[in-house]
Structure 1
């Protein structure tokens, strides 16, 4: 039977994993989303991104990525060139890397958490590729990801926000006691430390003392700049 526009399944590329500290959170989210996408309506293309940033696709990509059993998966990519739409396999040969078109994509569903997923970087790639995607745009994603910038935008628009201080990893590593003094000048204990560019609860610490604060600052600095 000939497929018409009315009966054709929508091709959805679901992206998950990623390079951020929220890799495992992303895999958990992807499990829930993949479970409810109606196979009668959608042709789902699973695309997993490793901790190192390699893109992989194939049957049961999410499950295999979670288990670390990725050798049977196909390295792949989305090109920023809108004249070459869809998902491409990377074929490694003695003469270099060749591209092989795998499938067209109607819409990309990013289920990536944290940096390189929610911060506008992926959104920028998809904009360049002229691919439809489920997400805020580049500006909204980048502003929403950086909590320091987000607070500045809120204040500039007269929206009250909790007092905070932005400390860079370099400041903490250079003189943690000075960083602690700066934080203590903002408010009384308990203080909360959070990586500015992560979501979920990764790297967040409730601090009731200087010792807690020192530990919390080092924890957050391990995840952010």
Structure 2
């Protein structure tokens, strides 16, 4: 049986560049090389696209091997035109986090070039990336959320005092200050007073022009993995068990101070509700491929949806693959399934008419 050609794209012009490289190493080492010929494209921090000179044949032992270099840059469309063996790509697998990677921009490029790609489409990626737009869609779907305030940098510069008063009148401390368009906890601060709030806002504006300030709540953090296209499937919920008050970028990726409890210790009725809500969130943002839905669960079993992540952490030990591992779908099998879903979605779109006879 002939192998299919895929291209793994990673790196990116984003604050989550390093996370993307680590993810790429994990996926490359797990992909089924008996089924796929694998090319790689590295996007540098400056936005340059560099294609590997050879298809992947062995494990990547050192992440530094993935920081490709070249003296000759090739147009992006040419890099994606065909694989190293001369055949067109059956699918590309973008392992990009943050702006220009999971916000719909690179997905739009793949659409224009008519290339099948793993993960969410343009609309789903962009509205899942923008926390404010996502909240509007959740509200329309009737999903319960905690109170929040959102504003632009230009508005804050002009009405700083009024916005600070609005936050303190509408929300109770602690609050979480978040850039609207970043993931992996980059630029997020937990604030317990006005001084910390002002500092958190200033920090978050380094990463985005729009912020979301969310009400904090004493609750467990529960996550559900969703997989599929039109008929998505879900996992049993898992829980983040932390020995830190706030699950920031450092504790998430560097300190290892977060443990995953899979499945979460919750009753069957609550688990079913969470799984159903995860599907509702998936549909609310018109997702396909993969999504991780994140929830808060209070002591009295009240559920609030926090967010969906259209390109969740995807190292072998991240919550999303581990949730599927618990459902007897291995990391390698999960990667294969995602590629198959990408090709399925691409083939289904061929039935859409683009011109009038």
Instruction: Give the TM-score of the pair, scaled to structure 1.
Output: 0.80
SS at match of 1:21: coil
CA deviation vs aligned residue, 1:65-120 (integer Å, no higher than 9, x gap): 54xx6246x5344429xxx962599xxxxxxxxxxx97631101010001111111
Structure 1 unaligned segments of length 5 or more: list them. Answer: 1-6, 90-100
Q: How does 1:60-209 map to 2 (within 5 A)?
A: 63-64=64-65, 66=67, 70-71=69-70, 75-79=73-77, 86-87=81-82, 104-174=88-158, 176-209=160-193
Between the aligned partners of 1:63 and 1:103, the Cα distance in structure 2 is: 28
1:152-184, Cα deviation, whole Å (9 max, x unpaired): 111122222121111212233445444322322
SS in 1 for 2:150: coil
- CA distance in 2: counterparts of 1:160 and 1:85, whole angstroms: 42
Which aligned pairs between 1:15-30 and structure 2 lie closer than 5 A? Answer: 15-30=9-24
Residue 135 of structure 1: how far off its partner (Å):
0.9
Structure 2: how far apart are the matches of 1:49 and 1:197? 20
Distance 1:24 1:175, change over 3 A: farther
- How far has the Cα of 1:62 moved from its partner? 6.2
Within 1, Cα distance between the matches of 2:154 and 2:82?
39
Does the 8 Å CA contact 1:172/1:217 hold for their aligned counterparts?
Answer: no
Alignment size in residue pairs: 202
Query: Aligned pair in 2 of structure 1 residues 179, 51: CA closer, same or farther (>3 Å)?
Result: farther
Alignment match, 1:11: 5
Tell whether the 8 Å contact from 1:48 to 1:62 is kept in structure 2 after alignment: no
| CA shift digits 1:182-203 (9 cap, x unpaired) | 3222211101011111111111
Secondary structure at the aligned position of 1:44 is classed as strand
Return the match for 2:26 from 28, 32, 41.
Answer: 32
Equivalent residues of 2:49, 2:76 under 8 A apart: no
Q: SS at the partner of 1:167? A: strand
Instruction: Note closer, same or farther for the CA distance 1:77–1:42 as it changes in structure 2 (3 Å cut).
Output: farther
CA distance in 1, matches of 2:206, 2:196: 16
Q: How far off its partner does 1:224 sit?
A: 0.8
RMSD of aligned residue pairs (Cα, Å): 2.7
TM-score (norm 2): 0.52
Task: Give the secondary-structure state (helix, strand or coil) at the position aligned to 2:109.
Answer: helix
Name the SS of the counterpart of 1:105 in structure 2: coil
Q: Closer, same or farther in 2 for the Cα pair 1:44/1:156, shift >3 Å?
A: same
